[in-house]
Structure 1
């Protein structure tokens, strides 16, 4: 649980992500806005087409670092709830890879919180992906 009174859901998981669960985690009677970023596996990356699948690998401390990132978002003025959930394991094109959901008293706070959350997550949380391409090649991203 969060060190503040703002609820925080932060986890790295092998199971499929649930936007409904993330929305429920940030629900708050004071929130006038909820902003969700939903990251999905796409069929291209870095100007190259043909991604067929990818495998996310997480550092053993990834969940702990993700929680710290989410806690920083929860401490922002006006934020009412934070959910940050990232998949690990093998995913197919179209699968949900990451959810960042922030509820806040007003829309500007919710948008700013969600944007900052995904940007900090991508910059700080040690999760890497091994992309498989249709031609049989693989490429690690984020190492």
Structure 2
């Protein structure tokens, strides 16, 4: 299940739907929920506005989930990402991975959130409590984490 939406989401309902869809062989589901937080160290965040490239964004999220399902033998995955104006502490993203084995579910979930942060076409504009706003730039550390997944796979395929 892949969704990009303005509305908030219910993580428990999404987890239950994944459990039902994944089948009786599931031994565990790992979930991640991301929230709007303060980005600037000295001024609280008022809102975070997220834009996306419709159609292209959903295709990229599908590709990320498909890659995770193959790499870690997942029985299912869910990605729900919100767009629009979100206040501080609002939920932004929900990621879940289901597998027969916890290790696969943990790695699959972590890979999905890392990859979507760097590969999915989302743009974030933060507005601070004082009214100043700016576009949030991608951090090099996020790109390095995503790149490390590809390096891990290459090292396993070519020892």
**Equivalent position of 1:80 in the other structure:** 75
**Equivalent position of 1:4 in the other structure:** none
**Equivalent position of 1:71 in the other structure:** 66
User: Which has more helix, going by share of residues?
Assistant: 2
For 2:84 and 2:76, locate their aligned partners in 1 and report how far apart those are by CA, in whole Å.
Answer: 27
Larger Rg computed on CA atoms: 2
Comparing 133-142 with 44-53, greater Cα deviation is found at: 44-53
Superposition pairs of residues 12-27 of structure 1, within 5 angstroms: 12-27=4-19
Could you say if the C-alpha distance between residues 137 and 21 of structure 1 is closer, same or farther in structure 2, counting changes exceeding 3 Å? same
User: Which has more strand, going by share of residues?
Assistant: 1
Q: 1:59 and 2:53 equivalent? A: yes
Report deviation, 1:48. 4.5
Structure 1: 5+ residue stretches without partners: 1-8
CA RMSD of aligned residues (A): 1.5
**Equivalent position of 1:107 in the other structure:** 102
Q: 1:25 touches 1:81 (CA, 8 Å); kept in 2?
A: no
Which has the higher relative contact order, 1 or 2, with Cα contacts under 8 A spaced 6 or more apart? 1
Deviation >6 Å, runs of 4+ = none
> In the alignment, which of 25, 31, 35 is matched to residue 36 of structure 1?
31
Could you say if the C-alpha distance between residues 11 and 48 of structure 1 is closer, same or farther in structure 2, counting changes exceeding 3 Å? farther
Report deviation, 1:96. 0.7
Q: 1:53 touches 1:131 (CA, 8 Å); kept in 2?
A: yes
Aligned residues: 134
- What's the TM-score, normalizing by structure 2? 0.78
**Equivalent position of 1:50 in the other structure:** 44
